[in-house]
Structures are given as structure tokens and as C-alpha cells.
Amino acid sequence: MDEAGIADIFAAFGPVRCRRLFGGLGLYADGVMFGLAVDGRIFLKTDPGFAADLAAAGAEAFSYDRKDGRRVSLSYWSLPEAALDDGEVAAALAHRALVIARAAAAGSPRRPRLR
């Protein structure tokens, strides 16, 4: 999925900025990363309640395999198929993910930048 397709899906949400991230794209609104686009799929930042709601809508957890063979799951879940065709649903889900991402960013100390 490219940046134009992502902007189209989230048009009702507002501007989404994309940055390259580990072979995919990080999705940002107001300077906060609220989602990922990887292998043609969009994943949103979740907390346990939002993850359960997305799972009930048929979404899947984002995970990847490490070089050592372990599978890693992150707190990102796929955007349900229905949201890809309904901009208002996509916007509502993105807004919820942004609220969660902001709370997570506020609760975690910033790491020092490496030079």
C-alpha cells in the first residue's frame, strides 16, 4: 500500500504522514505514530480493549519472525476489511488508535538519541 492509498482510506480522519519503517511505513497524525502499513495491510495501535474489539471485527494481530526464529507480536492489529471501504469507520478506528498512541507516548520516557 502506498501513501496515496493510505491518504484515501483515512481522508475522513485527516492528514496522515508516512515515514519509512523496517520495510513498511509508520503512520503518523499530529506527530504521533498510530499505525503501520506492512505488506499491503494497515495495522493500528491498540490497547487490550481495542484489540478485543478489532479481533471481534475479524482483524489480526501484527507479528513477525525474528532471525532467531521467535515470533514477536506487537500491540498493533489490522484494520478490518469493512473499514477499507468505509471512510467514516476507518476515521473512527484511526482516532481511537491515535488516542491510545498518545497515551502510550505520554506514559513512556523518551529514549536518548544515538549520535
Reduced DSSP (H G I as helix, E B as strand, rest coil) percent helix, strand, coil of the chain, to 5: 35, 30, 35
Q: Domain map of the chain by residue range?
A: 3-77
- Integer Cα distance of 34 and 60 in angstroms: 16
Q: What is the pTM of this model?
A: 0.88
Residue 106: predicted pLDDT: 85
pLDDT digits (tens, 9 = 90+) for 72-84: 988 999 999 999 9
- Integer Cα distance of 53 and 70 in angstroms: 27
Give the pLDDT band (50/70/90) at residue 70: very high
Domain 3-77: state its class.
alpha beta
pLDDT digits (tens, 9 = 90+) for 82-104: 999 999 999 999 999 999 999 99
